[in-house]
Amino acid sequence: MSDSREVPEGLAKTFGELKASGYQILPVKAEVRRNLISRLRDKQPLFPGVVGYDDTVIPQLTNAILGLQDIIFLGERGQAKSRIVRSLTSLLDEWTPVIAGTEIPESPYQPITAEGRAIMAEQGDAAPIRWLHRDDRYAEKLATPDITIADLIGEVDPIKVAEGRYLSDELTLHYGLVPRVNRGIFAINELPDLAERIQVGLLNLLEERDVQIRGFKVRLPLDVFIVATANPEDYTNRGRIITPLKDRYGAQIRTHYPEDVEQEVAIMDQEASVLDLGDYHLEVPDFMKEIIAEITHHARRSPDINQRSGVSVRTSISNYEALVANAFRRALRLGEAEVVPRISDLEYVIPSLQGKIEFEAMEEGQEDKITRRIIQNAVKAVFDRRYDVNDLEPIAMAFNDGISVDTGEVAPAEDYARIAERIPALNDIFPDRDTVSDTMRATVIEFVLEGLHLHKLLNKYDHAGTTTYTG
């Protein structure tokens, strides 16, 4: 056991000490409900790290917990279903007492196996207690067609039979994953992928809380909070889940993708893995973060993208990581100390984006065109939120005199200062022109020039890592 999970001093070591302390053991759902009520009263965050669900999913989840209901979350991939489910463990008591020496966790007040009952009957108040941490009271299983009842519930142990026990003896059983998380939370992901015969096996578990193993009934009143996840199309339209099992779940909660760009950016900031850049200073302009988020939102609305498979929030996270990685690569190559992503870095987001989306059936070679169109639309949307193109007309007019400028990932940041000298109107977009860094000036100039191009006020030519803008 790690130091961070060391059992605190002073906790009861025997059943007699536990009773003397007045410790009460609640059923798992009641325990979660009590701790949720405490957070609500104290106005503490209910599910830290879950972004964008404050007015939708979290109220429904709160009501389900208050109503002591088993829950199924319906949503496409990348909608934080697993994160929410795993966060439920934070509502368990940090430590809970169970009988020491039993195969599955059991309350000393209500032992449920023959082994547990024997220990309590023989040792009484001297029965040893072990304390189980909340993190050890959670288990999850990804539903696959090859899962068996033995995996989830249990099987007769042939070794125990060979030792002389009868098949009807409960002590011959080897318990599966669900009994082993007794007094805890069990999550099954992609529930409709379970074979129907396995779904039938879950019916009693959800309702009567007993199980049947290998043809004989074992009264095993498990205390388990059952949670499941599923894709809504599999769950509701394809008939891949048996109706009685669907009926057993008390709450069906629909998740969704972030409703606005700000929420998507917050998730990116929280989840993206930006590795140590050493002595290099990273600064990502807000408009570049918005563009990455807007790319995902445009993909979710594109008729060329398969919306049934969804466009995960992981798309934004991966694209953001790719953006920063290419900016860092450029800084290393050009010998610049600051890492500031630019519009020209978006070209290197394409492999990341295409790896996260599914295109509708189309002619060969159309994927790149669709991807670039999505990126351009995202850039234009963010540009239009930040600038009135009419205010930038002096910049576009300067190109009518035959000026052309080269930008791109091969251009050092100081080159953009010279561009601003050639086109003085560019300086007007910098309210802090005397203090802005060369690297930040470069990314803003690229953004403005690209915005003017997308408004058809400038021409653009790409060649060998260089982008040329002309009138």
Q: Hey, which CATH number is domain 258-363, 2.40.50, 1.10.10, 1.10.8, 2.60.40?
A: 1.10.8
pLDDT of residue 399: 87
SS3 363: coil
Distances (CA, A) of 358 to 125, 297, 300, 353: 61, 15, 11, 10
Over residues 31-43, the mean pLDDT reads 96
Tell me which of 103-107, 193-197, 458-462 is least confident.
193-197
DSSP 262-322: HHHHHHHHHH------TTPEE---HHHHHHHHHHHHHHHH-TTB-SSS---HHHHHHHHHH
How much of the chain, in percent, has pLDDT values that exceed 90? 56
Whether the CB-CB separation of 351 and 325 falls below 8 Å is answered with no
The model scores a pTM over 0.75: yes
- pLDDT of residue 162 exceeding 70, the answer is no
Q: What does the pLDDT read at residue 69?
A: 92
What pLDDT shows up at residue 216? Answer: 54
Cβ atoms of 198 and 152 closer than 8 Å: yes
Domain with CATH 1.10.8 in the chain: 258-363
Stretch (H or E) spanning 418? helix 414-422
Is 3-254 in CATH node 3.40.50.300? yes
The answer, yes or no, to whether residue 198 has pLDDT greater than 90, is no
- The arithmetic mean of pLDDT across residues 74-89, rounded, is 91
When mean pLDDT is compared across 134-143, 148-157, 344-353, 371-380, the lowest value belongs to 148-157
Return the pLDDT at 196: 81
Summarize the confidence of residues 270-278 as an average pLDDT. 82
Among 100-104, 219-223, 349-353, which is the least confidently predicted range? 219-223
Question: What pLDDT sits at residue 386?
Answer: 94
**Residue length, the chain?**
471
**pLDDT tens digits, one per residue of 329-385:** 999 999 999 999 999 999 999 999 999 998 886 666 788 899 999 999 999 999 999
**For residue 186, what are the β-bridge partners?**
139, 226
| Structural contact between residues 187 and 140, judged by C-beta atoms closer than 8 angstroms | yes
Range 4-13 burial, b when 16+ CB lie within 10 A, else e = eeeeeeeebe
**Three-state DSSP class for residue 407:** strand
If pLDDT is split at 50, 70 and 90, which confidence band does 300 have? very high
Helix (H, G, I), strand (E, B) or coil at 406: strand
User: Of 136, 124, 137, 102, nearest to 18 (Cα)?
Assistant: 124
pLDDT score for 215: 56
Instruction: Using only the alpha carbons of the chain, give its radius of gyration.
Output: 30
Kindly indicate the confidence band of residue 156, based on its pLDDT and cuts at 50, 70 and 90: low
Bigger pLDDT: 3 vs 282: 282
